A and B are shown apart, each in its own frame.
Chain A
Amino acid sequence: MNVSLELIHLDKTYLSKEDGKEIVALKDIDIKITEGKFVSLVGPSGCGKTTLLRIISGLEKPSGGNILINGQEMDEPWLQVGLVFQEFALFPWRTVRENIEFGPEIKGISPEERGKKAAEYVNWFGLDGFEDRYPKELSGGMKQRVAIARTLINDPKIILMDEPFGALDSQTRVSQEEFLLNLWDRTKKTILFVTHNIDEALSLSQTLIVLSRRPGTVKKIITIALDYPRDVNSDVFNRLRKEIVEYLIEEGM
Chain B
Amino acid sequence: MPSGYLLHNHCLQSLYRVFAGFFIATICAIPLGIIMGWSRSLRESITPLIEVLRPVPPLAWIPLAILWFGIGFKSSVFIIFLGCFFPIILNTVSGVLSIDSILIDASKTLGATKKDIFLKVLTPGSLPSVLTGLRIGLGIGWMTLVAAEFTGVKSGYGLGYMIMTARDIQRPDEVIAGMAVIGLIGYLLDLLLRGIESRLLIWR
Contacts and interface: CB of A to CB of B under 8 A. Distances in A.
Interface of A: 54, 57-59, 77, 79, 81-83, 85, 87, 89, 91-95, 102-103, 105-107, 134-136, 150-151, 154
Nearest to A54: B105
B112 interface: yes
Given A87-B102, A106-B120, A92 B111 contact: no
Given A87-B102, A91-B103, A93-B125, A58 B110 contact: no
Q: Is the interface of B mostly helix, strand, loop or mixed?
A: helix
Contacts, number: 66
Interface string B91-133: 0000000001011011111111100100011001101000000
B169 interface: no
Contact of B109 (A82, A105, A107): A82
8 contacts: A58-B109, A79-B110, A83-B109, A85-B102, A89-B105, A95-B203, A106-B113, A136-B204
Contacts of B204: 92, 136
Contacts of B106: 83, 85, 89, 91
A212 to B, nearest CB: 26
A136 B203 contact: yes
Closest A-B pairs by Cβ, 7 of them? A89-B106, A134-B203, A83-B109, A93-B124, A103-B110, A106-B116, A77-B108
A178 B143 CA distance: 61
B125 A102 contact: no
A85 B109 CA distance: 11
Given A89-B102, A92-B204, A102 B109 contact: no
B56 interface: no
Given A85-B102, A134-B202, A91 B109 contact: no
Contact of B110 (A54, A95, A106, A135): A106
A135 B121 CA distance: 15
Contact of A106 (B102, B103, B112, B203): B112
Nearest to B113: A106
Instruction: Determine the interface band of chain B, counting residues with CB < 8 A from chain A.
Output: 20 to 34
Contact of A93 (B109, B112, B116, B203): B203
Contacts of B102: 85, 87, 89
Contacts of A79: 110-111
A59 B125 CA distance: 20
Interface in B62-95: none
A251 B104 CA distance: 33
Given A91-B121, A92-B203, A136-B203, A102 B127 contact: no
B167 to A, nearest CB: 48
B111 A107 contact: yes
Nearest to A83: B109
Contacts of B100: 89
A88 to B, nearest CB: 9
Contacts of A77: 108-109, 111
A237 to B, nearest CB: 33
Contacts of B112: 106
Contacts of A89: 100, 102-103, 105-106
B131 to A, nearest CB: 12
A227 to B, nearest CB: 33
A58 B107 CA distance: 12
